[in-house]
Amino acid sequence: MNLKESLKKIKEESESFSLNTKEDLDKFRLKFLVKKSEMMELFNIIKDLAAEERKEAGRILNETRNLIEEKFKQHQEVVLSKREENANKEDLSLPPLHNQKGSRHAISIIRNRIIEIFSRIGFIIEEGPEIEDDWHNFSALNFAENHPARDMQDTFFINMEDQLALRTHTSSVQIRTMQTQKPPIRILAPGRVYRNEAVSARANCFFHQIEGLYIDEKVSFADLKQTLYFFVKEMYGDEIEVRFRPSYFPFTEPSAEMDISCTICKGKGCNVCKYSGWLEILGCGMVHPNVLKNCGIDPEKYSGFAFGMGLERQSMLLNGVNDLRTFFDNDTRFLKQF
Ligand code: PHE
């Protein structure tokens, strides 16, 4: 095969060679551009040629080599820039980075759930201050002068002179609402409350409550029961049993405490329900006429009910938590479970 034919063959081969990857480039270089390649070997023929043929042979050899080199360079640029682009893209085969997302606190979750349930039957939110005066926290709520809750042993006073204290319950929001709004009133008061208690698995010096209040004409104990039945079924499920026990609160008459069948043993008896089969979940009652009077509402015309519950307790019962302190430790391993 003469030089021209060999070059033609090489040229055709190089033209049809596809150059899309780094590996293609390497193969191409080995085949056409390194010293020992088929193409470069042809340059050795020149020295054996007659002097008058050398010039022409050199010209066509150089021409073909230049074409091949040109093709190589062009594709090299494209392939390398593509590689760089890919290197900057995220590697989807890598395991995901640990995602430290924030989430709601267990107490917020239970509060929102309770609010959501009562909002379906028309209750709206009211809030009040955490530092209360004696009147809103005690007197207006019909607490007797010598009631033990008014003692420093039970309540954190901030200023004895003005009788300012950290509120011991959210019932003070009942008073503030009734003073400023006309019936019908249908509110929920969620918030933090404080009591001078030794910290234990069952008690803390502060915790969260949610209080409900409904005032209108002809509100009866039957309304109270139906409202709370609705709440309990929505919160704890249809199969839960409910009972009311008579109780005492200065601001309600009659007063009751509501129990549900134990969420752990389903009423059979276990150490959570102290083998009674029942768990206490809230206090409630018909708003005392004195309380209505104290707020400028006519007890002859209006009546109403109130109820109050601890949020930590609801979450403990619902989620099987056995130590109230865990809600305040801020241990994310605990909080992440909700
Ligand atoms: N305020 C009461 C408590 O803190 C709960 C309660 C609210 C009881 C409303 C009756 C009516 O224990």
DSSP output for 27-86: HHHHHHTSTTSHHHHGGGGGGGS-HHHHHHHHHHHHHHHHHHHHHHHHHHHHHHHHHHHH
169 CA: nearest ligand 1 atom: 4
305 CA: nearest ligand 1 atom: 11
Q: Report the separation in Å between the CA atom of 157 and the middle of ligand 1, taken as the mean of its atom positions.
A: 20
In testing the pocket of ligand 1, which one of 219, 221, 251 has its CB within 8 Å of the most ligand atoms? 251
Q: Kindly state the average pLDDT of the residues 131-139.
A: 95
Q: Kindly state the average pLDDT of the residues 310-332.
A: 91
Confidence of residue 37 (pLDDT cuts 50, 70, 90): confident
Q: Kindly state the average pLDDT of the residues 132-141.
A: 95
Residue owning the nearest CA to atom 6 of ligand 1: 308
Average the pLDDT over each of 24-28, 221-225, 245-249, 272-276 and give the range with the smallest value. Answer: 272-276
Cβ proximity of 136 and 174 under 8 Å: no
Backbone Cα Rg of the chain: 42
> Who has greater pLDDT, 96 or 329?
329
Confidence of residue 303 (pLDDT cuts 50, 70, 90): very high
284 CA: nearest ligand 1 atom: 10
| Cα separation values, 94 from 67, 83, 86, 88, Å | 42, 18, 14, 14
In angstroms, the CA 307 to CA 187 distance is 11
Residue owning the nearest CA to atom 5 of ligand 1: 308
Residue 170, token pair as written in the block: 């959210």
In testing the pocket of ligand 1, which one of 118, 141, 211 has its CB within 8 Å of the most ligand atoms? 211
Q: Report the separation in Å between the CA atom of 250 and the middle of ligand 1, taken as the mean of its atom positions.
A: 9
Query: Is the pLDDT confidence value at 98 over 80?
Result: no
Q: pLDDT for 157-196, tens place per residue?
A: 998 888 899 999 999 999 999 999 999 999 999 999 999 9
255 CA: nearest ligand 1 atom: 10
CB burial class (10 A; 0-12, 13-18, 19+) of residue 233?
A: middle
170 CA: nearest ligand 1 atom: 1
Cβ proximity of 147 and 250 under 8 Å: yes
Domain boundaries, the chain: 3-87, 106-335
Q: Kindly state the average pLDDT of the residues 77-90.
A: 82
Query: Is the pLDDT confidence value at 64 over 80?
Result: yes
| Pocket, ligand 1, Cβ cutoff 6 A | 169, 171, 211, 249, 252, 283-285, 306-308
In angstroms, the CA 325 to CA 60 distance is 91
Q: Report the separation in Å between the CA atom of 307 and the middle of ligand 1, taken as the mean of its atom positions.
A: 6
> Who has greater pLDDT, 116 or 52?
116
Share of the chain above pLDDT 70, in %: 100
Q: Report the separation in Å between the CA atom of 308 and the middle of ligand 1, taken as the mean of its atom positions.
A: 4
Query: Is the pLDDT confidence value at 65 over 60?
Result: yes
Residue 320 has what pLDDT? 86
Residue 1 has what pLDDT? 56
In angstroms, the CA 151 to CA 160 distance is 11
Q: Report the separation in Å between the CA atom of 251 and the middle of ligand 1, taken as the mean of its atom positions.
A: 8
Cβ proximity of 32 and 39 under 8 Å: yes
> Who has greater pLDDT, 328 or 148?
328
Share of the chain above pLDDT 90, in %: 61
Query: In sequence order, what are the residues at sequence separation of 6 or more whose Cβ sits closer than 8 angstroms to the Cβ of residue 143?
Result: 149, 150, 250, 251
Residue 266 has what pLDDT? 83
Q: Report the separation in Å between the CA atom of 171 and the middle of ligand 1, taken as the mean of its atom positions.
A: 7
Q: pLDDT for 39-54, tens place per residue?
A: 888 888 888 888 888 8
Query: Is the pLDDT confidence value at 156 over 90?
Result: yes
Residue owning the nearest CA to atom 9 of ligand 1: 307
Residue 100 has what pLDDT? 74
Q: How many residues does the chain have?
A: 338
Residue 253 has what pLDDT? 96
Confidence of residue 203 (pLDDT cuts 50, 70, 90): confident
CATH 3.30.930.10 fits 106-335, yes or no: yes
In angstroms, the CA 332 to CA 329 distance is 9
The per-residue pLDDT of the chain, averaged, comes to 91
Residue 147 has what pLDDT? 86
CA-based nearest residue to 325, from 213, 244, 185, 205: 205
Going by their DSSP bridges, the two strands 164-166 and 252-261 should be labelled as: unpaired
- The backbone torsions φ and ψ at residue 214, rounded to the nearest 5 degrees and listed phi first, read -135, 120
In testing the pocket of ligand 1, which one of 118, 147, 171 has its CB within 8 Å of the most ligand atoms? 171
> Who has greater pLDDT, 97 or 114?
114
Q: Report the separation in Å between the CA atom of 313 and the middle of ligand 1, taken as the mean of its atom positions.
A: 14
In angstroms, the CA 100 to CA 96 distance is 12
Q: Kindly state the average pLDDT of the residues 259-287.
A: 89
Q: Report the separation in Å between the CA atom of 287 and the middle of ligand 1, taken as the mean of its atom positions.
A: 11
